[in-house]
Structure 1
Amino acid sequence: MTAKGRLGALLPKLILSPSFVIVLIFVYGFIAYTLYLSFTASTMLPNYDLVGLRNYERLWQLPHWWLAVKNLAIFGTLYIVVSCALGLFLAILLDQKIRGEGMLRPIYLYPMALSFIVTGTAWKWFLDPGIGIENTMQQWGWDSFQFGWIKDRTMAIYCVAIAAIWQSSGFVMAMFLAGLRGVDGEIIKAARIDGASTVTTYRRIIIPMMRPVFLSAFVVLAHLAIKSYDLVVALTGGGPGQATELPATFMYSYTFSRSQMGVGAASAIVMMMMVFAIIVPYIYAETKREPGQ
């Protein structure tokens, strides 16, 4: 091989090597460091005295952590199920080649262009009883109208779910719409020749063929639900009290506010294992899938 050929083969590696080193250090290196801290007696500052699984034992004995896990179960279930249902409905609506589709698509997708901080702040104003929808409806004459969920300990977590669903449904719609547009038109024509209605065609033929899209949407939404932090901080700050605490906000508060770095690191590792429990089976299923399936 000539010197020019060797340089051509080496050049992509040289270009990518700085990014590879940075990712290796600042992603995987800090993951390893967090894992190590979860086995130490670290409090306000790192303490490298190993304590085994003591931090994990303390973590699962904390009512605060169990509340965060319970809230994650409620929030994650609503977020994934409603986002998928609403996204599928919007995708089917646009798949009918309705007039104005080109205008509706960016409108539905616009919320995903916003950060969760912006979404949380906007919905905080919208749901605030003093300045939001409750105040507006009362000024319009509905004096008995009340919508103070964001101030209610039992209902505040549903406000977080509403804001998250509003932001992500358009993205899910785009995924489903791409899947719908990828269905073989001959299959649909054959179903209609056989007398199947539009509803039956979608329910019996098209939607079952979109299982990979459902799986992809589930993985993306579950990952976003587990690591939700900025939306909760902007919308409720984890309150009222600790009513909307999630594992991500728990990890931050125990690491920095309560100076329990070891417990915070343990909660971060548990969150990472939750993500792995979702992503690893998905990757395995994708790699084992035969071509054409």
Structure 2
Amino acid sequence: MKAHDNLLPRLLLSPSALLVLVCVYGYIMFTVYLSFTASTMLPTAEWAGTANYQRLLGLENWEVSLRNLAVFAGLYIVIAMVLGLALAILIDQKIRAEGVLRSVFLYPMALSLIVTGTAWKWLLDPGVGLEHTLQSLGWSSFSFGWIKDGDMAIYCVVIAAVWQTSGFVMAMFLAGLRGVDSEQISAARVDGARTWQIYARIVIPQLGPVFVSAFVILAHMAIKSYDLVIALTNGGPGRSTWLPSVFMYQYTFARNEMAVGAASSVLMLIAISVVVVPYLLREMRGAKNNG
């Protein structure tokens, strides 16, 4: 009877486990293999060694993508975390309509990145969006054409990305704030500490794990961002909003350089692993110690 009880769950889970093994890890290994071949439009078994990685690191388009990623990821992570923390502290003050505000701030996270990118594309388009609306209302001198400016378009991606995820970061920080020991806060109030001092010296220092979790989530989202960029700017103007994910798609499917595209995706995977794996190991050690 016990053997039968153990067998049934394994049989039920085996199809899902097999699909994950083949469709996730199998294709990851296949992509790594392609990056060492001479594949162009179609996969080939001709071995090329590290030539694709050497060519990739020498491409100007890859350098542009990395520079854009540095700007995008840096601003996106910092602004989303600061804004999320500020919103969490605001809601933590037990203000009225707290539930409504939480829902409003969390709503963008329920939307797909394609929807977010399309909505912000309309909003930022000088011909139909914010600039056109304000000018039609009489503010004729107002101008906001960042999305058409090669030097400023990447900041439009930052704005849309922050809007999408700052509410989620707020929820993480709010959960952390609600977990802070209330006795310490009460003792600080008795000692005459002001609200900002309580948050600066007692509450925020205890949110270290939340900061780490938020950073890991935002960093891996920044590295693999593709949908939002394509929907918002399609990588333009020119290459001004190319990220490594856009580079990978362009070289794999548009320029028929599959091996170079595979090499770029492998480097993206390594970058994500550098961020995520230490965090997972830390969490596993913590769970093991608590167990």
TM-score under structure 2 length normalisation: 0.97
Residues 63-103 of structure 1, C-alpha deviation per residue, up to 9 Å, x if partnerless? 00000010001000111000000000010011011000011
Counterpart code for 1:93: L
| Partner of residue 95 from structure 2, selected from 95, 98, 103 | 98
CA apart distance, 1:288: 3.9
| Partner of residue 136 from structure 2, selected from 124, 135, 139 | 139
Map of 2:84 onto structure 1: 87
Map of 2:2 onto structure 1: 5
Q: Does 1:121 align with 2:105?
A: no
Map of 1:282 onto structure 2: 279
| Partner of residue 259 from structure 2, selected from 259, 262, 266 | 262
Map of 2:166 onto structure 1: 169
Residues 37-86 of structure 1, C-alpha deviation per residue, up to 9 Å, x if partnerless? 00000000011111110000000000000000100010001110000000
Map of 1:192 onto structure 2: 189
Q: Distance in 1 between matches of 2:45 and 2:233?
A: 35
| Partner of residue 47 from structure 1, selected from 44, 50, 53 | 44
Residues 103-125 of structure 1, C-alpha deviation per residue, up to 9 Å, x if partnerless? 11110000000000000000000
How much identity, in percent, do the aligned residues show? 62
CA apart distance, 1:184: 1.2
Map of 1:33 onto structure 2: 30
RMSD across aligned positions (CA): 1.0
Residues 133-181 of structure 1, C-alpha deviation per residue, up to 9 Å, x if partnerless? 0011111111111000000000000000000000000000000000001
CA apart distance, 1:11: 1.4
Map of 1:183 onto structure 2: 180
Runs of 4 or more consecutive aligned structure 1 residues displaced over 6 Å after TM superposition: none
CA apart distance, 1:289: 4.1
Q: Distance in 2 between matches of 1:105 and 1:288?
A: 32
Q: Does 1:62 align with 2:59?
A: yes
Q: Does 1:206 align with 2:203?
A: yes
| Partner of residue 230 from structure 1, selected from 227, 243, 249 | 227
Map of 2:216 onto structure 1: 219
Q: Secondary structure at the match of 1:60?
A: helix
CA apart distance, 1:287: 3.4
Q: Secondary structure at the match of 2:58?
A: coil
Moved more, 211-220 or 191-200: 191-200
Map of 1:159 onto structure 2: 156
Q: Distance in 2 between matches of 1:54 and 1:194?
A: 66
Q: Distance in 1 between matches of 2:106 and 2:277?
A: 28
Map of 2:247 onto structure 1: 250
Q: Distance in 2 between matches of 1:135 and 1:58?
A: 44
Structure 1 unaligned blocks of 5 or more: none
Map of 2:104 onto structure 1: 107
Moved more, 193-202 or 238-247: 193-202
CA apart distance, 1:219: 0.4
Q: Distance in 2 between matches of 1:47 and 1:73?
A: 33
Structure 2 unaligned blocks of 5 or more: none
How many corresponding residue pairs? 289
Map of 1:73 onto structure 2: 70
